[in-house]
């Protein structure tokens, strides 16, 4: 398993009525990935600049209020909310990404922890080192010059 994979709880974006209970998906700090899977739940491969991402990672992020952050992304995608997660806005306005990953194929993988900034940075650096670019929905790459 690659260093950029979060080993944590996973659930489908389209199953917002069946999201993990609040004792699992808390409004506490954590890191998360948004991934794309096929109808069997297997990761969809994404061609990247320096290889193929076999896990279908679309976004790596952090939040100090995890449940609220993931709900904001879901509202952007499923309810066409005008406010919310910047990756949700990028997803909605990118026909190429929507072609690769339908809303039904999106899953969240998350883990609660306190040191979100350094963990997110480590995950993004590992991804960039492997593929030569950030995941498709990650817009910021300012940390790359610090590699």
In terms of Cβ atoms closer than 10 Å to its own Cβ (0-12, 13-18, 19+), residue 144 is: middle
Q: Residue 14 has which token pair?
A: 């389209």
pLDDT at 143: 52
The Cα 72–Cα 83 span in angstroms is: 8
pLDDT at 80: 76
Q: Residue 42 has which token pair?
A: 């297997």
H helical segments located in the chain: 66-78, 86-92, 95-100, 116-131
pLDDT at 2: 47
Q: Residue 6 has which token pair?
A: 């979060």
Torsion of CA 58, 60, 63, 67, to 10 degrees: 40
Domains delineated in the chain: 9-146 (3.40.1440)
How do the pLDDT tens digits run along the chain, 147 residues long?
344 567 778 888 887 667 777 778 888 999 999 999 998 888 999 999 999 999 999 999 999 999 888 888 888 888 877 788 888 888 988 888 888 899 999 999 999 999 999 999 999 999 999 999 999 999 865 555 554
pLDDT at 1: 38
Ramachandran area for residue 41 (φ above 0: left; ψ -120 to 50: alpha; else beta): left
This prediction has a pTM of 0.87
pLDDT at 86: 86
The Cα 139–Cα 107 span in angstroms is: 19
């Amino acid at each position: 398993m690659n260093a950029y994979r979060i080993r944590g709880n996973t659930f489908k974006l389209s199953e917002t009525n069946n999201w993990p209970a609040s004792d699992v998906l808390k409004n506490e700090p954590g890191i998360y990935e948004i991934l794309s899977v096929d109808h069997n739940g297997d990761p969809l491969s994404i061609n990247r600049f320096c290889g193929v991402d076999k896990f279908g990672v679309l976004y790596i992020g952090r939040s100090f209020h995890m449940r609220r952050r993931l709900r904001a992304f879901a509202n952007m995608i499923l309810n066409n909310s005008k406010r919310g997660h910047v990756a949700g806005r990028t997803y909605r306005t990118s026909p190429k990404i929507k072609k690769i990953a339908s809303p039904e194929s999106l899953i969240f993988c998350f883990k609660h922890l306190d040191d979100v900034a350094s963990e997110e940075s480590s995950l993004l650096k590992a991804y960039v080192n492997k593929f030569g670019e950030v995941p498709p929905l990650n817009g910021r790459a300012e940390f790359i010059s610090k590699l």
